């Protein structure tokens, strides 16, 4: 425990891109499996009828996401919570990185929340360091239908064969297109379906309209898609080496470098991600990559600026493929039996079909349960806003989990450095990729 605390304290000084988690480690891997309280019936908090078990749920992000978290907690407290003596208090903690850092600090202080949101790629690190606990015994006891979750969403919930979280607010990247501009350029307003079409569309838009066909920034999440579309991944199967400088990697970098050099594609540095949306609003670009969680905002931007947008799968190379993203809900370790039962009750409720329908409609995140597709509200959403169905279709057939190496936050920074060096600054593909791949491999094996 002392070694874990020391290392966690040292990481509190590190910020930026989730590197706050780097260096967490201990001989205590935290893999011992807790046993749900046997003093209470399944699904009933272990508390007397006169007591209310109060727990906190820490979450990230503001606006619609914050409103959704507050609204759902209020709904729970007024219904299931009232019946079973549970009160959930949602507490805003900033970005994912902020949540992760504060969770570490609370663990050191022995005052963690019962529940927290967790960016999916960090699940393994927190699980193996004993900060969050396996919920496998609760799932088995209550016979929770985890098969109803989309396969692409559960990969980042499972560590060493056991569930350490449940999918909550989840997403995939998609391609957004200004269909008004595509029609002006004589192109299919549905957008490109393949990499060849992506290149064709980008060049045609640039030549016909004098604007960028595609604008993006050095974005590691979308970058993972490009490798999946080539039948591989950014890391090898056991996460001991990168495929960055593989033939597929060089093909990916060369493809976009050529389009950048032709003036058909604009790439901003990773630190300049905020520059993409002004290009979208000013119609200086016709296509861009972003999360399905941005759909509501993008539709509003289009309406305010007088154009129409469509959504599409990220175009296929050898195949389609996208990583999933967003956050899981996790339970911390060291809770009392009553707190565990209360936390589990909220986890079950929050990720059930009715609540994932509510959250999806309210925020734009995808529904996490397959059964939600049959809900009349979701069908009505798809009828009124067909752009919303694209991400779910992409997830169902082509969604993948993200790498969960404990030092993946550092690796992601190097991927961004590679994109910046080549696509923004015109660096040599082979030399740059070989150099950065060597750095990544050292990180993965240290």
Q: For residue 298, what are the CA distances in angstroms to 179, 191, 266, 363, 364?
A: 13, 16, 19, 12, 11
Element spanning 86, H or E: strand 86-92
pLDDT at 296: 86
Specify which residues 266 forms β-bridges with.
215
pLDDT at 246: 98
* Residue 418 clears pLDDT 90, i.e. is over it: yes
The yes-or-no verdict on residue 444 having pLDDT over 50 is: yes
pLDDT tens for 184-196 read 999 999 999 999 9
What value does the mean pLDDT of the chain take?
Answer: 91
Residue pLDDT, tens place only, 290-329: 999 899 889 999 999 999 999 999 999 999 999 999 999 9
Tell me if 156 sits within 8 A of 402, measured CB to CB: yes
Residue 371 has pLDDT above 60, yes or no: yes
Any idea which fold 173-323+407-445 has?
D-Maltodextrin-Binding Protein; domain 2 (3.40.190)
Mean pLDDT value across residues 82-99: 97
Ramachandran region, residue 23 (left: φ > 0; alpha: ψ -120 to 50; beta: rest):
left
Give the pLDDT score at 50. Answer: 62
Percent with pLDDT over 70 in the chain: 89
pLDDT score at 201: 99
Q: Is the pLDDT of residue 11 over 60?
A: no
Cβ contacts of residue 43 below 8 Å, gap of 6+? 84, 142, 341, 344, 345, 348
Per-residue pLDDT band at 350 (split at 50, 70, 90): very high
Query: In the predicted model, what is the mean pLDDT of residues 85-96?
Result: 98
Neighbours of 310 (CB within 10 A): 19
pLDDT in tens, 270-280: 999 999 999 99
Could you say which architecture CATH assigns to the domain 2-33+47-171+324-396?
3-Layer(aba) Sandwich (3.40)
Cα–Cα distances in Å, from 441 out to 264, 421, 434? 33, 18, 11
Q: Which of 278, 273, 256, 274 is nearest to 265 (CA)?
A: 256
**C-alpha closest to that of 368 among 358, 380, 376:** 358
Quote the CA–CA distance of 331 and 131 in Å, as a whole number. 9
Encode pLDDT of 26-70 as tens digits.
Answer: 333 333 333 443 333 334 444 444 689 999 999 999 989 999 999
268, with CB counted inside 10 A (0-12, 13-18, 19+), is buried
- CA within 13 Å, CB half, 8: 22
Question: What pTM was estimated for this model as a whole?
Answer: 0.85
User: Residues of CATH 3.40.190.10 domain(s) within the chain?
Assistant: 2-33+47-171+324-396, 173-323+407-445
Residue 73 tokens read as 């907690």
If pLDDT is split at 50, 70 and 90, which confidence band does 3 have?
A: very low
On whether the CB atoms of residues 217 and 272 are closer than 8 A, the answer is yes
Interval 234-260 mean pLDDT: 98
Give the model's pLDDT for residue 44: 40
Sign (positive/negative) of CA torsion 292, 296, 297, 303?
Answer: positive
């Amino acid at each position: 425990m002392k070694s874990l605390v020391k290392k966690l304290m040292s990481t509190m000084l590190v910020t930026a891109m989730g590197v706050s988690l780097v260096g967490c480690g201990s001989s205590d891997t935290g893999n011992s499996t807790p046993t749900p309280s046997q003093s209470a019936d399944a699904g009933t908090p272990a508390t007397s009828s006169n007591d209310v078990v109060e727990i906190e749920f820490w979450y990230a992000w503001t606006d619609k996401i914050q409103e959704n978290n507050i609204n759902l907690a209020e709904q729970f407290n007024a219904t299931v919570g009232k019946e079973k003596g549970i009160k959930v208090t949602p507490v805003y903690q900033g970005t994912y990185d902020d949540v992760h850092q504060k969770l570490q600090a609370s663990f050191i202080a022995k005052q963690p929340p019962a529940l927290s949101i967790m960016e999916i790629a960090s699940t393994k690190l927190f699980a193996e360091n004993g900060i969050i606990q396996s919920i496998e015994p609760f799932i088995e006891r209550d016979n929770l239908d985890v098969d109803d979750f989309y396969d692409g969403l559960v990969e980042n919930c499972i560590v060493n064969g056991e569930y350490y979280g449940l999918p909550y607010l989840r997403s995939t990247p998609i391609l957004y297109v200004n269909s008004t501009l595509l029609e002006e350029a004589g192109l299919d307003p549905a957008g490109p379906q393949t990499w060849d079409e992506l290149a064709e569309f980008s060049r045609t838009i640039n030549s016909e309209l004098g604007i960028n066909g595609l604008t993006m920034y050095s974005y590691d999440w979308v970058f993972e898609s490009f490798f999946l579309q080539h039948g591989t991944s950014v890391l090898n199967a056991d996460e001991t080496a990168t495929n960055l400088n593989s033939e597929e990697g060089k093909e990916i970098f060369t493809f976009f470098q050529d389009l950048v050099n032709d003036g058909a594609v604009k790439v901003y540095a990773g630190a300049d991600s905020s520059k993409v949306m002004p290009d979208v609003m000013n119609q200086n670009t016709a296509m861009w990559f972003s999360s399905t969680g941005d759909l509501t905002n993008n539709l509003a931007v289009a309406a305010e600026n007088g154009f129409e947008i469509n959504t599409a799968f990220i175009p296929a190379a050898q195949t389609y493929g996208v990583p999933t993203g967003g956050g899981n809900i996790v339970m911390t370790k060291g809770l009392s039996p009553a707190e565990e039962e209360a936390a589990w009750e909220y986890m079950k409720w929050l990720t059930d079909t009715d609540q994932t329908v509510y959250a999806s409609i309210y925020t734009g995140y995808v529904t996490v349960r397959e059964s939600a597709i049959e809900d009349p509200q979701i069908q009505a959403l798809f009828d009124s806003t067909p752009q919303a169905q694209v991400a779910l279709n992409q997830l169902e057939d082509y969604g993948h989990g993200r790498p969960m190496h404990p030092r993946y936050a550092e690796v992601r920074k190097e991927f961004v450095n590679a994109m910046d060096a080549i696509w923004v600054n015109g660096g040599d593909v082979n030399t740059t990729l070989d150099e950065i791949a060597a750095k990544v491999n050292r990180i993965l094996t240290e």
